[in-house]
Structure 1
Amino acid sequence: MGNLLKTRKLNRFLCHISIFILLFSFLGTAQTYHLPDGQKFEKLKFRLINNLIIIPMEVNGTQLSFILDSGVDKPILFNLSDQDSVQINNVSEITIKGLGDGKPIKALRSYGNTFRSKYIENRDQQLFVVLDKAMNFSPTLGIPIHGIMGYDLFRDFVVEIDYGRKILKFHDPENYVHRKNRRQESLPLSIIQKKAYIDGNLILRGSQPVRLLVDTGSSDAIWLFENGAINVPDKYYEDFLGKGLNGNIFGKRTKVDTVQIGHFVLKDAKAAFPDKKSFSAIKNLGSRNGSLGGEVLKRFNIVFDYSRKKIVLQKNRNFNTPFRYNLSGISLQHDGVRYISESITDSRGVVHNEEKSFGDVQILFETRTRLSLVPEIIVSGIRAGSPAHEAGLLEGDVILAVNGKSIHRYKLQKVLEMLNEKEGKRVKLQIERQAQDLTFSFVLKNILKDKR
């Protein structure tokens, strides 16, 4: 019998843009994705937000949005709002343990579900539903996110990711023929317990070989685990790294001299060292030294070929893009909507926005005034000792304008870019706090710049 799952709208939670989730593998029925007979591949457009790949996927006929996460086993659903009505089949309750410093949480396990995106289909997909209201990435990413999924797609297809054009191709492995060119490099890919690992080299107080989890579900560049040979550099700062299934993940942010994957070399790469207690769910790290996340992966166009245990890398236009740091110390998220009043500026009654966001509800008055319902963006966290912290910004402040630009005209990720544009730049913020409009000013600073 099918069960109709409806949950109340999940409350917001403090979450940094870095997202990293781990689940233990669960035994289940055989499940495979396939293409129609004779079709060699399917092409999907995706959205790239905070270095994360967002794909559309129908679950039993309901259209949802998933993060494509090569670090996760079975699909996980969360953040189902009042407007979402998703049928899930053959349900039982389980307890799961993942990353974070909290206790195991309750979830639902479900078999026999149909997942479909265009002509890609699996009619017998196992999934998990996390009922914890804190599991909600939508406020931090600025769009509705309903879940994460990964391994089953990577297992059943040769997955080609064109980060430059934001296109995914899912190839039938039996008919796939790789077209080589001189700009590409093919490297071994180790598949261990349904996760993919790649070997590289790290220069940090000397050269050190590393084995890294290839994690498209992490928006960070590199995560590293401390051991006898890999230690945190002298220049670092404590920070909130992300949210796991079992609570918050804290650690140290820094940068490393060089990361080398094959013959590709990345200089002064961002790195984070998560606290060891966040990984209590992992009994044995084995030879794993860390993770390679989206801020590195987006610099390549990639072919994942799990069946042949290889990965193909090719530089794209993002390769030489400088690594982005949080220079202001501010984290942002959506927190519902608010009304704004604007004067109509042309004869057609239209105010031209530079970039549309959601919540485009408008009421026009004869006095040539427009009342609009727009997303409210708030300060969700402030790093201690950062320029924003020293200037007096507080968690919960509502951002109204950045350097004179009303932020309701921009998407969340664009506002974050405006707050971290360039070291040494002065930022002027207009905020609302307890029904008062206040102005703050500070200079952006990279506290890791002088590391050598």
Structure 2
Amino acid sequence: MYRITCIARYLFLSVCILSLSVAVSAQQFSINENQKQVKVRFQIVRDMVVIPLFINQKGPFNFVLDTGVGLMIITDPTLVDSININNRHILKMYGTGNDVVFEAYATAHLNISINQKLIGEDISAAILKDDHFGLSNYAGMPIHGLLGYEFFSNLAVKVNFMDSTLTVAKPGKFKPLKRGIILPIGVEEHKPYFTTKILLPNGKYTTKKLLIDLGAGHALSIESWPPYAGIQKKVIAANLGVGLTGPVNGYISRVGELYLGKYKFTGVITSFPDSNVHVNYIVPRDGSLGMGTLKRFLLVFDYKNQRMYLKPNTRFKEPFEHDMSGMEYYASGKDYEHIIVSRVESGSAADEAGIEANDQITKVNFKPVSRMTVTEIDNLLKSKENRNILIEVYRNKVFETVVLTLKKRI
């Protein structure tokens, strides 16, 4: 997703850490005995669920809540000193060819606290020696890491995207949601999976095993599919994310139908990674279901009982839309107040408006980007076809305002 460029909405980070050369034991979170449940507020940032937490009584630090990772990962290497981690050893991260791509520190005995009522003791983590993923630049705010299986393993977690709250309780304490469903899941190697029916672009139904990936920004990704075969005419060649060995390229199109129990979605925007991207997953799968779909429900994850509750929220019937500008961008600067264009797709609205890679966007519709979040810019650029947006760019010490007319590309 990031290679000094920000690949806009498809966060593949959580599916690309393949293996660790040293086994690291994972511990669990628990709530105080006198609490029946605990509420935690979160932010949705570019379709990431971000929560504040404390590590070894230091913080708060911003972590992405991610069902797609089986081990707590600290992506900001500066935390090694700030949280006083002394006892650590080297982990080697491997790429698809079994070559060492980069190294991380393994550490144990971290004490994590969330909201003072939700505690994780002796939590193990991997700390990247270098920030390879640039999550802070992607989000436009400091992001310090990813929290996954340890948080979900011993608790039931309700995720309400309408009021941005998590409700955490002991397993079995949540009743089935009225007018909702129970979706059976399997938790394998610390990650949740389910099997479902999909109508592929070639008009044929198929059954796919998908990772339920709260840390992925896409609606759906199908990885066991050749890049061109059967994909409809409207298709975008795109950078879909970042892997251990660099950017993951592929295509974006739509599938005809996607089923989650009794719920059916049509025209779902789907990522198709290149067929030459071979990932030897410990648990074989065909793809992943991400935030583009999950955020349309009130969710309850219950790993202990191998199930997930789903109830549609007010976003359920919203159409699946993709960026209509054709440009990718990221935040930079001390306070992430600068927006830098990293890539412009040929023939897109941004290309026709004359926007170029490395341009700095300074204003959108006369509003300085320093007063906007990256998420606000994202939403504006996929809001409505044929909408005119005024973009002020800074290039070669000159400010220029251009008219960008949004157009659907898929």
Alignment partners' CA distance in 1, 2:112 and 2:353? 49
Q: 1:39, CA displacement in angstroms?
A: 2.1
Output the TM-score relative to the length of structure 1: 0.82
Q: 1:38, CA displacement in angstroms?
A: 3.2
Counterpart pick for 1:316 among 313, 321, 333: 313
Q: 1:415, CA displacement in angstroms?
A: 2.0
The verdict on how the C-alpha distance between 1:121 and 1:399 changes in structure 2, with shifts beyond 3 A counting, is same
Q: 2:189·2:283 contact (CA, 8 Å) conserved in 1?
A: no
Alignment partners' CA distance in 1, 2:75 and 2:281? 26
- The root-mean-square deviation of aligned C-alpha atoms, in Å, is 2.6
Partner residue in 2 for 1:268: 267
Q: Is 2:406 the counterpart of 1:444?
A: yes
Partner residue in 2 for 1:350: none
Query: Which stretch shows the higher mean deviation, 67-76 or 36-45?
Result: 36-45
Alignment partners' CA distance in 1, 2:96 and 2:178? 40
Counterpart pick for 1:49 among 45, 64, 76: 45
Partner residue in 2 for 1:396: 358
Structure 2: segments with no counterpart, 5+ residues? none
Partner residue in 1 for 2:63: 66
Partner residue in 2 for 1:425: 387
Q: Is 2:182 the counterpart of 1:186?
A: yes
Alignment partners' CA distance in 2, 1:47 and 1:148? 14
Task: Please tell me the residue identity of whatever aligns with 2:326.
Answer: G
Alignment partners' CA distance in 2, 1:412 and 1:80? 24
Q: Is 2:111 the counterpart of 1:114?
A: yes
Alignment partners' CA distance in 1, 2:352 and 2:207? 40
Q: 1:112, CA displacement in angstroms?
A: 1.2
Structure 1: segments with no counterpart, 5+ residues? 1-9, 338-358, 360-373
Task: Please tell me the residue identity of whatever aligns with 1:57.
Answer: L
Q: Which structure is higher in RCO with an 8 Å CA cutoff and minimum separation 6?
A: 2
Task: Please tell me the residue identity of whatever aligns with 2:195.
Answer: D
Q: 1:418, CA displacement in angstroms?
A: 2.5
SS of 1:379's equivalent? strand
Partner residue in 2 for 1:134: 132
Alignment partners' CA distance in 2, 1:11 and 1:62? 30
Q: 1:224·1:271 contact (CA, 8 Å) conserved in 2?
A: yes
Q: 1:434, CA displacement in angstroms?
A: 1.2
Alignment partners' CA distance in 2, 1:103 and 1:388? 38
Partner residue in 2 for 1:346: none
Output the TM-score relative to the length of structure 2: 0.90
Partner residue in 2 for 1:248: 247
Task: Please tell me the residue identity of whatever aligns with 1:271.
Answer: T
Q: 2:225·2:275 contact (CA, 8 Å) conserved in 1?
A: no
Task: Please tell me the residue identity of whatever aligns with 1:319.
Answer: F
Q: Is 2:143 the counterpart of 1:156?
A: no
SS of 2:330's equivalent? strand
Q: Is 2:199 the counterpart of 1:203?
A: yes
Query: Which stretch shows the higher mean deviation, 150-159 or 423-432?
Result: 423-432
Q: Percent identity?
A: 26
Partner residue in 2 for 1:90: 87
Q: 1:72·1:151 contact (CA, 8 Å) conserved in 2?
A: yes
Question: Residues 99-123 of structure 1, C-alpha deviation per residue, up to 9 Å, x if partnerless?
Answer: 8999521111111111111211122
Partner residue in 1 for 2:341: 379
Task: Please tell me the residue identity of whatever aligns with 2:402.
Answer: F
Alignment partners' CA distance in 1, 2:344 and 2:105? 34
SS of 1:313's equivalent? strand
The verdict on how the C-alpha distance between 1:388 and 1:411 changes in structure 2, with shifts beyond 3 A counting, is same
Q: 1:132, CA displacement in angstroms?
A: 2.5
Matches within 5 A, 1:215-226: 215-226=213-224
Task: Please tell me the residue identity of whatever aligns with 1:334.
Answer: A
Q: 2:393·2:401 contact (CA, 8 Å) conserved in 1?
A: yes
Extract structure 1 runs of 4+ deviating beyond 6 A: 99-102
Question: Residues 330-376 of structure 1, C-alpha deviation per residue, up to 9 Å, x if partnerless?
Answer: 12221216xxxxxxxxxxxxxxxxxxxxx5xxxxxxxxxxxxxx812
Alignment partners' CA distance in 2, 1:33 and 1:45? 17
Alignment partners' CA distance in 1, 2:150 and 2:67? 9
Counterpart pick for 2:376 among 414, 419, 422: 414
